[in-house]
Structure 1
Amino acid sequence: MIFPLSIVSLFALVSLGLLASPWPYLAPGAVIGLVGFTVLYRKPTWGLLGIAALVPFEGFFKDSSVSGSKLLGASLAVIVMLQLALHQIPSQRLRSNLWHCLIGFMVLYFLSLLNTDDMGMSLGHLRELSVGLVLFVITLLIGRELNLDLFARLVTLAVTATCAMAMFSAKFQDQGRAAGLLEDPNAFAMLIAFAIPLGLLLVIRSPNLLHRLFWGACCLLLLGGMTKTESRSGLVVLALSLLIGIWHYRAQLTHIRPRHLGFVMLGAAIVIPLAIYAMPAGYMARIQSLSILSAGSKAQDESLGRRASYIVVGSQMIREHPVLGSGPGTFPLHYATTGYAKAFSANRKIGDLYRRAHNTYLEIFSELGVPAGLFFVGMLGLGLYNLIRARAAWMLRGDGYRADMMTHLGVSFLSLTLFLMFLSAPNQKYVWIMLALTSVLRIKAEQAPLTPETQA
């Protein structure tokens, strides 16, 4: 692959400029940057893997205007654009069945932006969403070369590392709830729910016992981290993921003989009470509160009452602005003017009054209108359908390993889509990376040649 001479010249000029500046000690940084840029130019998928691995650690740089993730993302975007312009990446890779929904969504997004109730908040929302859109395009262009096994390992290790930090250090907790390097324990639970299916795949497909023990320990840490978040939505999503996994591997369950049933029951009798005992008392109280159906400021569970208030306010916004909504990012503006904001505000600070919907779907339907919300939901539904078709294509070709990979990636993506009902995260990086990856994986699976046995 030819590396553009103009880029080398640019870095050389920057190095010379730094040598002549009052900060000559920064000149080696330009050389290091050139080396990194060169490596990334030759292996752009490494940049995508790096972004995926850095997502759980973004809290380290939340107060910094420049971070490793931002530098990596900007460099990768420039490299992909250069390679696309030089025809080193074929433009046909941009083909996807998701574009119809995405283009419809973005057209309505900009129409809503022009009609917004607060341009400043809407432009901030657009800036955040643009990161996900850039990752979507990048993944479409280079996702074919992405090493899925390495992707699963890096994501599992990164999230596991933050789980260990949150479990054993109060610094990474929010009022006793594990939050990792994020501000919201539920957002941290979302990362854990995304990583667990990938970790289980590594346990199942590891080549030897030592590797299985290692990835099994990672899965236990992930489960412990999920418990420490005390996220009820995380528990629901995790239970659903495990049920899907059991259904997928139901054929292997037939190998369990009646003589093994006693060991299974003994293991369950030991593990279940230990799991309940290890659960924090606060988590048990939060789970029990799910049975309480009261809402509003007088609800026995303030969190449930607050979420009910979001639905009330969002529904009112949809009735008032059904076509284009009130403008991107303006839900907090409308919520702050209601009595709910004061009722659920502990200290009447601005951050407590201006609350997001904590439900991506509700937020999009209320801020952008019903048509844009339908396009967004349709796009996520198509992503799940793509993975189902990719799995079917690999099954048709007799490739059980890749079919299992599609299943676990599908469960991880499903976890993200379900968690969007409990979080306002339309710009979540894993969502947009996985969304593009579903299209890439389906095309790659359906273009794979059939073996003579499958053709017969």
Structure 2
Amino acid sequence: MVLTLPLALLLGLACLLLLASPWPYLAPLAFPALAALAVLYRKPVWGLLVMLALVPFEGLFSAADAAGGSSSAGFTLNKLLGLALIAIAALQLLLRQLPVRRLRSNLWPLLLAFLAFYMTSLAFSSHLGLSLQQLRQLAVGLVLFSLTVLFGRDLDLPALARVLVLSVASTCVVALLSTSTQPASRAIGLLADPNYFALLISVALPLALLLVVRAPRWPQRLFWLAPLLLLLAGLGRTGSRSGLLVVLLTVAIAAWHYREHLKYLVIRRLGWVILAGAIAVPLAPALLPDSFIQRLEVLASLKSGVKAYADTSLARRSAYVVVGSQIIAEHPLLGSGPGTFPLEFAKTGYAIAFSIRGLPVELYREAHNTYLGMFSEVGVPGGLLFVGLILLSLRNCQVARRHWLSRGDPERAALAAHFGLSCLALSCFLFFLSVPSHKYLWVMLGITSFLRLQADDDAAGERP
């Protein structure tokens, strides 16, 4: 009752401001927005789940590249949610409704050291405006990492897995429908590039497998098998060779993790395994575009070296490595400045050689390798600290999995294993895309540190 008058005044002020704005038709939405804000204050983790669920759909709301973390002018739902969560987190910390110790993470020392080198590189950048734009994009990831660590105790990881799988699988449906009329085209979902779409699928696949394996009954298992098959079909339609390599790696590691279950499956369910293979093998070529088959055949010619006439994509990636190596040799300590690789690449002859249509915008190309971009733009020390962040996050999942297995808790061990596989898929994909500010990346870093913290606290509670 004490808050009734302030809330009424706030609602009236919001309505008046909207009526006086160029969008007076939004005034009736003031009350639902205020109610949603009140719910979000009570359950901020719900806002985090909604933000992650909207990542595959960002192409609908923004013309910017959602996977790279850039944003267009104006407000989108994700931006509004992000600003609301930042305000709510700051207010709850100031009012001590959330203890500061919730921000604990073993990734902070490496992250702060990385940011120190990043800011120093930015200060000496010869293209300060571009570097500041890159910093703004990275700030989105840093905010998501902080929010994930802060609200980690309230985050239901199985619910997060369901949200990510359903959101990405639903865009796979859109992709399959769009490519059904154009069999030669590559699926992009609701994004701008098939490789970015393949990244989302690669992250969601281990979580879909978790939902299938840990389903309590056969009806639920069959239900989650449908999104898993959609993800596999969507990956095939992307025509992404890097996505295929990453998925094969994660499937191999998952098979090793479940080797005992696979032995039981082969021995006791051999007939079903043969039937599944008989159905999948004939259908697999039909789901793969002819262009994808041709691009896979090109990989067989790599033994004799990369030839530009055989595959321009591989030739361009070789050029990125050459240019990145030159930048590292010239600026080993602080790099050329955050976000400046496209400008450095445009100065070389490779930019003109690989310009497809001769347009000026095609001269400025990213490194298509997050690690190479970090080493060349931020310097060797900053690049090593970034790699250390990734390796420590993978180590966190490994330690958490071993701890829960030793405690006889297969449920938590499976969560640590599969979220670790998603983090591994993402870290492997960083070799093929320049996405240092990807939302999934920084959320996964926060989740892995929370899993490690849970395991460490549980182990400390066992000690006499």
Give the TM-score band, short-chain normalised. over 0.9
Q: Give the structure 2 partner of residue 51 of structure 1.
A: 51
Q: Give the structure 1 partner of residue 28 of structure 2.
A: 28
Percent identity over the alignment is 51
Q: Which amino acid aligns with 2:104?
A: R
* Aligned counterparts of 1:231 and 1:259: Cα–Cα separation in 2: 35
* Aligned counterparts of 1:315 and 1:21: Cα–Cα separation in 2: 52
Q: Which amino acid aligns with 1:416?
A: L
* Aligned counterparts of 1:99 and 1:421: Cα–Cα separation in 2: 24
Q: Is the 8 A contact 1:297 1:340 kept in 2?
A: no
Q: Give the structure 2 partner of residue 264 of structure 1.
A: 273
**What's the CA shift for 1:280?**
1.7
Q: Give the structure 2 partner of residue 376 of structure 1.
A: 386
* Aligned counterparts of 1:412 and 1:172: Cα–Cα separation in 2: 32
Aligned pairs (5 A) from 1:75-94: 75-94=84-103
* Aligned counterparts of 1:415 and 1:437: Cα–Cα separation in 2: 15
Structure 2 spans left out of the alignment, 5+ residues? 64-71
Q: For residues 278 and 135 of structure 1, do their structure 2 counterparts lie closer, same or farther at Cα, with a shift above 3 Å needed?
A: closer
Are 1:346 and 2:337 counterparts? Answer: no
Give the paired residue count. 453
Q: Which amino acid aligns with 1:26?
A: L
* Aligned counterparts of 2:47 and 2:12: Cα–Cα separation in 1: 23
Q: Is the 8 A contact 2:398 2:416 kept in 1?
A: yes
For residue 336 of structure 1, the aligned residue among 328, 338, 346 is 346
1:361-386 CA-to-partner distances (Å, cap 9, x unmatched) read 00010001000000000011111111
**What's the CA shift for 1:273?**
3.7
For residue 298 of structure 1, the aligned residue among 308, 313, 323 is 308
Q: Is the 8 A contact 1:165 1:172 kept in 2?
A: no
Q: Give the structure 2 partner of residue 70 of structure 1.
A: 79
Are 1:178 and 2:187 counterparts? Answer: yes
* Aligned counterparts of 1:278 and 1:54: Cα–Cα separation in 2: 26
**What's the CA shift for 1:8?**
6.5
Q: For residues 26 and 378 of structure 1, do their structure 2 counterparts lie closer, same or farther at Cα, with a shift above 3 Å needed?
A: same
Structure 1 spans left out of the alignment, 5+ residues? none
Q: Is the 8 A contact 1:172 1:179 kept in 2?
A: no
* Aligned counterparts of 1:188 and 1:273: Cα–Cα separation in 2: 25
Q: Give the structure 1 partner of residue 232 of structure 2.
A: 223
Q: Give the structure 2 partner of residue 359 of structure 1.
A: 369
The alignment partner of 1:169 has SS state of helix
**What's the CA shift for 1:265?**
4.3
Are 1:281 and 2:290 counterparts? Answer: yes
Q: Is the 8 A contact 1:117 1:326 kept in 2?
A: yes
Are 1:251 and 2:260 counterparts? Answer: yes
1:89-115 CA-to-partner distances (Å, cap 9, x unmatched) read 110011211111111111111111111
1:287-344 CA-to-partner distances (Å, cap 9, x unmatched) read 1111223667734111000100000100000000000000000000011111111111
Q: Give the structure 2 partner of residue 395 of structure 1.
A: 405
For residue 324 of structure 1, the aligned residue among 334, 352, 370 is 334
* Aligned counterparts of 1:166 and 1:225: Cα–Cα separation in 2: 7
Are 1:407 and 2:445 counterparts? Answer: no
For residue 192 of structure 1, the aligned residue among 192, 196, 201 is 201
Q: Which amino acid aligns with 1:214?
A: F
Q: For residues 394 and 302 of structure 1, do their structure 2 counterparts lie closer, same or farther at Cα, with a shift above 3 Å needed?
A: same
Are 1:145 and 2:154 counterparts? Answer: yes
The alignment partner of 1:448 has SS state of helix
Q: Is the 8 A contact 2:57 2:190 kept in 1?
A: yes
* Aligned counterparts of 1:23 and 1:283: Cα–Cα separation in 2: 47
Q: Is the 8 A contact 1:325 1:368 kept in 2?
A: yes
Q: Is the 8 A contact 1:47 1:72 kept in 2?
A: yes
* Aligned counterparts of 1:11 and 1:48: Cα–Cα separation in 2: 24
Q: Give the structure 2 partner of residue 117 of structure 1.
A: 126
Q: Which amino acid aligns with 2:40?
A: L
Are 1:443 and 2:435 counterparts? Answer: no
**What's the CA shift for 1:213?**
1.6
| TM-score between both structures, scaled by the size of structure 2 | 0.92
* Aligned counterparts of 1:181 and 1:174: Cα–Cα separation in 2: 17
**Coordinate RMSD, CA, aligned:** 2.5
1:116-157 CA-to-partner distances (Å, cap 9, x unmatched) read 121111111011111001111111110111011110111001
The alignment partner of 1:255 has SS state of helix
Q: Which amino acid aligns with 1:49?
A: L
The alignment partner of 2:264 has SS state of coil
Q: Is the 8 A contact 1:177 1:228 kept in 2?
A: yes
Q: Give the structure 2 partner of residue 427 of structure 1.
A: 437
| TM-score between both structures, scaled by the size of structure 1 | 0.93
Are 1:240 and 2:244 counterparts? Answer: no
Q: Give the structure 2 partner of residue 201 of structure 1.
A: 210
Q: Give the structure 1 partner of residue 172 of structure 2.
A: 163
* Aligned counterparts of 2:176 and 2:286: Cα–Cα separation in 1: 16
Q: Is the 8 A contact 1:295 1:308 kept in 2?
A: no
Q: For residues 147 and 304 of structure 1, do their structure 2 counterparts lie closer, same or farther at Cα, with a shift above 3 Å needed?
A: same
Q: Which amino acid aligns with 1:308?
A: S
Q: For residues 360 and 10 of structure 1, do their structure 2 counterparts lie closer, same or farther at Cα, with a shift above 3 Å needed?
A: same
**What's the CA shift for 1:447?**
2.0
**What's the CA shift for 1:272?**
2.4
